[in-house]
């Protein structure tokens, strides 16, 4: 299933994308796309819906983040071999983990706001695993059973905030609009192998990123297991698994985003995002 939420910010309704790519309203079945729907009982309820009888949503409404009430967004840095090479860093021996503030979450086509004082805005297309069963100290071989679905996250970054103001990575990752999620939350049964997906990003139509999840240093399963050693993963938590080469910071000289730029990105089977960069008011 491809689950979505559509409508104005704060007023989104639940929906799904049917086999023909048509948006249908799920309001008769559920009030919203909430974490509990990713648990086995919730998914069974959704699968019982008669899709052909659901109302078709006309027009092209705004899409919000496809999951309401994301608990925490755990992000992984430097997790692709080619990205490590472009920034001149050694491959990590353990995953680099940081948190992106939930207030950064926004829709997959919402504008990206360059915050006041921001001068080094960057993009990162990432595969995100959404937890569907609570996980604590899980084994890698059993970790994917705790994933309820997958989606795209653009790990928007302000590199000056991230690298030039001391402290940790989180401050460069958490401004409002720095966590676009979606367009869809695709249930895990539709993704046969999370390590066989292509990722891409364009800026103003120019290809910047083209990669594959096969080049992850730590697989999705390994990351779920690893993170669950240090914190409980709850249903509805998101693990954003890192980005391939081609980020603006990796160019020589760097190619950071400017107001008016248009960023588009996608992942096999998970749809696409599109963002216009705007200056903070």
Q: Give residue 230's pLDDT.
A: 98
Residue recorded with tokens 């779920």: 224
Spatial CA neighbour of 113 closest among 29, 64, 178? 178
Q: Give residue 7's pLDDT.
A: 98
CB atoms under 10 Å from CB of 95, counted, come to 20
Q: Give residue 86's pLDDT.
A: 82
Q: What is the DSSP secondary-structure string of the chain?
A: -EEEEESSTT--EEEEE-TTS-EEE-TTT-SS--GGGGSHHHHHHHHTS-GGGSPBPPS-PPB--SSSS---EEEEES-BHHHHHHTT-PPPSS-EEEEE-GGGEE-TTSPEEEPTT---EE--EEEEEEESS-BSS--HHHHGGGEEEEEEEE--EEHHHHHSSSS-GGGGT-STT-EEB-S-EEEGGG-S-TTS-EEEEEETTEEEEEEEGGGBSS-HHHHHHHHHHHSPBPTT-EEE----S--GGGSSS---B-TT-EEEEEETTTEEEEEEEEE--
Cα(241)–Cα(138) distance, integer angstroms? 17
pLDDT digits (tens, 9 = 90+) for 22-47: 999 999 999 999 999 998 889 999 99
- Can you give the pTM of this predicted structure? 0.96
CB atoms under 10 Å from CB of 21, counted, come to 7
Over its length of 281 residues, how does the chain's per-residue pLDDT go in tens digits?
Answer: 999 999 999 999 999 999 999 999 999 999 999 999 998 889 999 999 999 999 999 999 999 999 999 999 999 999 998 887 887 778 889 999 999 999 999 999 999 999 999 999 999 999 999 999 999 999 999 999 999 999 999 999 999 999 898 878 899 999 999 999 999 999 999 999 999 999 999 999 999 999 999 999 999 999 999 999 999 999 999 999 999 999 999 999 999 999 999 999 999 999 999 999 999 98
Cα(197)–Cα(54) distance, integer angstroms? 30
């Amino acid at each position: 299933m491809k689950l979505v939420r559509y409508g104005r910010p704060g007023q989104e309704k639940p929906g799904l994308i049917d086999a023909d790519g048509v948006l249908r309203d799920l309001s008769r079945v559920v009030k919203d796309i909430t974490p509990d729907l990713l648990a086995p009982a919730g998914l069974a309820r959704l699968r019982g819906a008669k899709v052909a009888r659901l109302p078709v949503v006309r027009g092209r409404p705004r899409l919000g983040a496809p999951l309401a009430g994301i608990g925490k967004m755990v992000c992984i840095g430097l997790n692709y071999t080619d990205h490590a090479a472009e920034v001149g860093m050694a491959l990590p021996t353990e995953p680099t983990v940081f948190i992106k503030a939930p207030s950064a979450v926004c829709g997959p086509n919402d504008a990206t706001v360059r915050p006041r004082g921001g001068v080094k805005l960057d993009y990162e297309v990432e595969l995100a695993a959404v937890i569907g069963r609570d996980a604590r100290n899980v084994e890698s071989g059993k970790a994917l059973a705790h994933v309820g679905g997958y989606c795209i996250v653009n790990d928007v970054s302000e590199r000056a905030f991230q690298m030039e103001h001391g402290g940790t990575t989180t401050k460069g990752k958490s401004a409002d609009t720095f966590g676009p999620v979606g367009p869809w939350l695709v249930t895990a049964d539709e993704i046969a192998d999370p390590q066989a997906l292509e990722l891409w990003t364009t800026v103003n139509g120019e290809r910047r990123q083209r990669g594959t999840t096969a080049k992850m240093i730590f697989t999705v399963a390994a990351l779920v297991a690893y993170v669950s050693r240090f914190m409980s993963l709850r249903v509805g938590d998101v693990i954003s698994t890192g980005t391939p080469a081609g980020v603006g910071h990796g160019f020589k000289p760097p190619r950071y985003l400017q107001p008016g730029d248009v960023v588009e990105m996608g992942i096999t089977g998970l749809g696409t995002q599109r963002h216009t960069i705007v200056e903070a008011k």
